[in-house]
Amino acid sequence: MTIPKKSEKNYFETQPTCPSCRTSIEMYRALYILSKFDGQSHSVRQCGACGLRFMDPMPNIEWLHKYYQQRTLYGADSLHAQDYENAIRDKVDLLKNLVLPHLKNQSVEDHLAVDFGAGSGYVVKAFIELGFKAFGIELNLSAPKRARELFNVELINGDLI
C-alpha cells in the first residue's frame, strides 16, 4: 500500500481557519516541521486563539487511514515497559491538570476514558493509573498485542468511520 502524495487530488487541504474555533489562518503559529514520513513536508501549527495543535496541510480521512494501516506503531519504539515511565508520568500530570478539574468532585472510577489513536497504549495506562476505566482504539493492527504486552491495557482495532 502506498500513501498518496501531497500533489494527488483531494488528499490534503490547507486550512483557511482553525479546525476547532474557526479563527483565521493569520492566528496560526508554526511550531515545528514533521519528518517527511510520506515524502512531503508537513508542519504542526497552533491556533493563537484556542491553542489547538494540528497538522498543515491537513490530510483527509482516506489518507490517514492508509497511513495508520501501514506505518510502524507510534509510541512503541521499545519493547520494555520501563522505557515509557517518563511518558506515562508526563501524561498523568497533563491529565490531572486538563481532565480532573472538570469532574467537579465526581469519582474518576465512574468515568470511562477512550483514547482514539492510542498507539502503544501509554495514555490508556496513564488514565488507568488515575483511576479511570479506560481503553484505546487504534488503526494499527499490532497495537492491541503491544499494549497488552507493555502495559496490560486494552486496545481494540477500529476506525471512526
Tens of pLDDT, residues 88-132: 888 899 899 888 988 888 899 999 999 998 988 999 999 999 999
Instruction: Return the HEC string of the chain.
Output: CCCCCCCCCCCEECCCECCCCCCEHHHEEEEEECCCCCCCCCEEEEECCCCCEEEECEECHHHHHHHHHHCCCCCCCCCCHHHHHHHHHHHHHHHHHHCHHHHCCCCHHHCEEEEECCCCCHHHHHHHHCCCEEEEEECCCCHHHHHHHHHCCCEEECCCC
Q: Quick one: pLDDT at residue 9?
A: 45
What percent of the chain stands above pLDDT 90?
27
Q: Is the pLDDT of residue 6 over 50?
A: no
The per-residue pLDDT of the chain, averaged, comes to: 79
pLDDT for the residue numbered 56: 78
Mean pLDDT, rounded, for 65-87: 70
52-75, pLDDT tens digit by residue? 877 777 777 777 777 666 665 555
Looking at the whole model, is its pTM more than 0.75?
A: no
